[in-house]
Homo-oligomer: A and B are copies of this chain.
Amino acid sequence: MKNKTIRTLLVQMEIFPGRPRINIASMLHSIENARTDGVELVVFPEMAIPGYLIGDEWEHESFLRECEECGSEICLASKGIIVVFGNVGLDWKKRNEDGRVRKYNALFVAENGKFVSPEKGPYKFVIKTLLPNYREFDDSRHFFDLRKLALEKNTSVEKLISPVKTSKLTLGCALCEDAWDIDYSLSPLNVLARKKIDLFLNISCSPFTVHKNLKRNRIFSTKAGQLKKPIVYVNNVGIQNNGKTVFTFDGSSCIYDTHGNQIICSPSFEEEDLTFDVPLTGKPFGDQVQLKEDGIAEIYRAIDYGTRKFMELCGIKRVTVGISGGIDSAVVASIYRNILHSKDLLLVNMPGKYNSQTTRTLAKELADNLQCCYAEVPIEESVKLTTSQINGITVRNISGKFSETLGVGPLMRENIQARDRSSRILAAISAAFGGVFTCNANKSEATVGYTTLYGDLCGYLANIADLWKTEVYQLAEYMNKDIFHAQIIPKGSFSITPSAELSDAQNVDEGKGDPLIYPYHDLLFKSWVESWNRTTPEEIISWYMEGKLETNLGYKGKISDIFKDKKTFVADLERWWNQYQGMGLVKRIQAPPVLAVKKRAFGFDHRESQMGSRYTAKYEKMKKLLFS
């Protein structure tokens, strides 16, 4: 090692999943610039060439060959410079355990037009050792890991983890999860630390989750401090998806010095080529990056970014939002207004028999504030037609042996209205406007299916469906205050009772509306879906009986103020649990893709099986006890 610093370029690139040619074009560009800039080491993210969350695209051999070719092109471009990048590592002569061609999640080091192999191990690439198989990750579905390889080669994993020696320095290379080793019996970085390493690299393709960056910082900072070596962390931006769930990538690439201080970082959700002379030894670096929790602002950035990128992916240039006067559609419309020119955003209010003047006025007020296109398309005539076509119709069989006259009940009438708005009006008017329409569902509704299938659950993307209703209000406040700096989302949309306005029982002017008490139910549902130890009625009833429910859920009020007695409490608990595991799930299966911003977004991050609503025997026992 000649220098005490190494001039390094961290390439926080946007990865286009499934598009190797597009990705290497931008990579080659970065390498070219780096060379003229005197950079010695260029580091790209994990899976920079193929993308990461690409479903079963890994089964296409033509795609794999293309990734391999693209990797060779990057290698050839490494003249006079060290280039590190993520790609799929292939062994065409071996098989994965599914019988398909052997694939590794791999890190390649190239220098002077050639790949530099790790000191030990059979391949020209470093293999990801720890493969995540939780949340949205399916690594073991596609990639062979180092532990399986060790078993196959009848050797130990430790022997296969080795540094990569370049002409200038010795690299300790890791891929994403390799550094998040707390729950594994093996720490790849610690194994590497026993060898002489100058610099650790962690290349990642790590999706954004609110607050994750802080955790990541704790882990990497501690690691660098323990190893007394600098760590360069490179993550990508862009979006990737699993069909049902869309993930954003925030980048936040950064450098830790030998004392564990984060000394510089790239902005989140932006492409950046960050060049820095990384100190390989020495005193603590002067300036440190100060990370802060900014919850709702972070969430807004992720939603704004994810929505923009998803629109780009789908080629969407115009958007229609069904607008009710309530907070959800107001927030969705406002998000799009910040992305689109006002002439490309259409707000449609679809009043029916039960819609109040209050909400209709709020809808119009929002459109005026956003200065976008607006239309009112009433549904009553169509709802009447549908009802008249079905109410009183007689269905019979040929022999006339039986016949039956059908009737339209109150719940059916509610659903007819909701479907009329989305499947009849919005689907047609958005096509005529030249674009798509949005799904404005929030996570509270999605959890318990308080929504109509083929009705308000329709749309091309559900970009606030990972937010509880209470978070939607927070986001609305945040947008007025920090994005628009004005009361764009009308005051009234905050203050009216949340309501679907589908019947007289949901009359907002009489303060009637949704059957959900959001400040309580949001926390209850959150404990079912998002909390680490996911609760079930067994835990809830036990906390209730112990008087700990408020504390354990974090509810500021008193449960006894909501439910007049234990019978009402239990009925409410079972009502929503039945919905969560029953019709809620039925509807989620056919719901639009959800933009994930938190832990356990519905879809691939929170996988569900239709099994009907279930209670443990212990729950039933406690319930008996409660009423005894």
Which of A132-140, A220-228, A249-257 contacts its partner? A132-140
Contact with B along A301-329 (1 / 0, CB 8 A): 00000000000011100000000000000
From B96, B130, B377, B419, A424 is in contact (CB under 8 Å) with B419
User: In the assembly, how many copies of this chain are there?
Assistant: 2
Does A55 lie within 8 Å of B533, measured CB to CB? no
Distance A536 CA – B62 CA, assembled complex (angstroms): 7
Distance A498 CA – B382 CA, assembled complex (angstroms): 31
Query: Closest CB-CB distance, A555 to chain B, in whole Å?
Result: 21
Question: A189 at interface (Cβ–Cβ under 8 A)?
Answer: no
Which of A41-49, A159-167, A239-247 contacts its partner? A239-247
Question: A291 at interface (Cβ–Cβ under 8 A)?
Answer: no
Question: A558 at interface (Cβ–Cβ under 8 A)?
Answer: no
Distance A184 CA – B585 CA, assembled complex (angstroms): 36
Does A428 lie within 8 Å of B454, measured CB to CB? no
Does B612 lie within 8 Å of A313, measured CB to CB? yes
Question: A374 at interface (Cβ–Cβ under 8 A)?
Answer: yes
Does B385 lie within 8 Å of A385, measured CB to CB? yes
Query: Closest CB-CB distance, A377 to chain B, in whole Å?
Result: 6
Distance A588 CA – B463 CA, assembled complex (angstroms): 19
Question: A157 at interface (Cβ–Cβ under 8 A)?
Answer: yes
Given contacts A54-B611, A371-B399, A610-B313, A432 and B406 within 8 Å (CB-CB): yes
Does B66 lie within 8 Å of A618, measured CB to CB? yes
Distance A411 CA – B428 CA, assembled complex (angstroms): 10
Which of A264-272, A353-361, A480-488, A601-609 contacts its partner? A601-609
Does B182 lie within 8 Å of A616, measured CB to CB? no
Contact with B along A54-92 (1 / 0, CB 8 A): 111101111101100100000000000000000000000
Q: Which residue of B lies closest to A431 (CB)?
A: B412
Contact with B along A144-174 (1 / 0, CB 8 A): 0001100110000100000000000000000
Which residues on the B side are within 8 Å of A377 (C-beta)?
389-390, 393
Distance A147 CA – B144 CA, assembled complex (angstroms): 13
Question: A586 at interface (Cβ–Cβ under 8 A)?
Answer: yes
Which residues on the B side are within 8 Å of A422 (C-beta)?
423, 454
Distance A619 CA – B424 CA, assembled complex (angstroms): 41
Which of A14-22, A103-111, A112-120 contacts its partner? A14-22
Which residues on the B side are within 8 Å of A406 (C-beta)?
429, 432-433
Which residues on the B side are within 8 Å of A453 (C-beta)?
427
Which of A508-516, A545-553, A590-598 contacts its partner? A590-598
Does B243 lie within 8 Å of A585, measured CB to CB? yes
Question: A445 at interface (Cβ–Cβ under 8 A)?
Answer: no
Question: A458 at interface (Cβ–Cβ under 8 A)?
Answer: yes
Given contacts A98-B133, A243-B589, A185 and B151 within 8 Å (CB-CB): yes
Q: Which residue of B lies closest to A52 (CB)?
A: B609
Q: Which residue of B lies closest to A364 (CB)?
A: B398
Query: Closest CB-CB distance, A534 to chain B, in whole Å?
Result: 5
Question: A625 at interface (Cβ–Cβ under 8 A)?
Answer: no
Does A18 lie within 8 Å of B609, measured CB to CB? yes
From B97, B157, B390, B397, A373 is in contact (CB under 8 Å) with B397
Distance A148 CA – B60 CA, assembled complex (angstroms): 29
Which residues on the B side are within 8 Å of A389 (C-beta)?
377, 425
Does B619 lie within 8 Å of A62, measured CB to CB? yes
Question: A343 at interface (Cβ–Cβ under 8 A)?
Answer: yes
Question: A381 at interface (Cβ–Cβ under 8 A)?
Answer: yes
Question: A375 at interface (Cβ–Cβ under 8 A)?
Answer: yes
Query: Closest CB-CB distance, A209 to chain B, in whole Å?
Result: 14
Given contacts A63-B536, A183-B99, A607 and B242 within 8 Å (CB-CB): yes
Question: A186 at interface (Cβ–Cβ under 8 A)?
Answer: yes
Distance A18 CA – B377 CA, assembled complex (angstroms): 46
Does B460 lie within 8 Å of A432, measured CB to CB? no
Which residues on the B side are within 8 Å of A140 (C-beta)?
131, 133, 140-141
Distance A346 CA – B372 CA, assembled complex (angstroms): 45
Known: A56-B608, A390-B428, A427-B454. 18 other contacts (CB 8 A): A17-B609, A63-B614, A97-B133, A147-B151, A151-B157, A241-B610, A244-B589, A313-B612, A346-B395, A375-B393, A377-B389, A377-B393, A386-B424, A406-B432, A408-B428, A454-B454, A454-B458, A593-B610
Q: Closest 8 A-B residue pairs measured CB to CB?
A: A423-B423, A98-B134, A18-B611, A406-B432, A55-B609, A140-B140, A152-B185, A62-B538
7 inter-chain pairs at a CB distance below 8 angstroms, sorted by A residue, are: A95-B183, A97-B184, A140-B140, A151-B157, A390-B432, A409-B432, A454-B458
